[in-house]
Amino acid sequence: QPAVEPTHSGAEKFRWPVSGRVITDFASSKGTGINIEATEGAAVRAAENGQVIYVGSGVEGYGNLVLIRHPNGFVSAYAHLKGTTVSKGDVVNRGDNIGAAGMTGSVSRPQLHFELRKGATPVDPVPLLAS
């Protein structure tokens, strides 16, 4: 475990984890998150400073998944990754590369499924992302 808890970057909003258009919005995802079209292998970046609390493929349909716990009470989720560059317990900074976009899990084209949860409750990430 790190000796230092991650601190918030001070930014007002989360950063987009990958550039691309939203192909599934929060409502269409049944209130889980958004899907962002991405080129296979595109860098996926941490939306905010935090600690990696999960890396793996044990959540059905999500493929390779990274979860990051943030100091502001949010957890961000990054799914369908082709590969990951972080391990459980790593402290990451906003903008750090955490993996590559892919099409693992139950998707038919490269994309990133991105979720923000406040505690255990999914929230629509779009209003919380920097424009």
List pLDDT tens digits, range 95-109.
999 999 999 999 999
pTM: 0.95
Q: Which two tokens mark 91?
A: 């402290």
pLDDT band for 6, please (50, 70, 90 cuts). Answer: confident
* Positive or negative: CA dihedral 49, 53, 56, 59: negative
Rounded Cα distance between 43 and 14, Å, is: 16
Q: Is the confidence at residue 112, as pLDDT, over 60? A: yes
pLDDT tens-digit map of 9-61 = 999 999 999 999 999 999 999 999 999 999 999 999 999 999 999 999 999 99
Tell me which amino acid residue 23 is: I
Chain centre to alpha carbon of residue 41: 15
DSSP secondary structure letter of residue 15 = P
* CA 49 to mean position of chain CA atoms: 12
Mean pLDDT of 84-100: 97
pLDDT of residue 78: 98
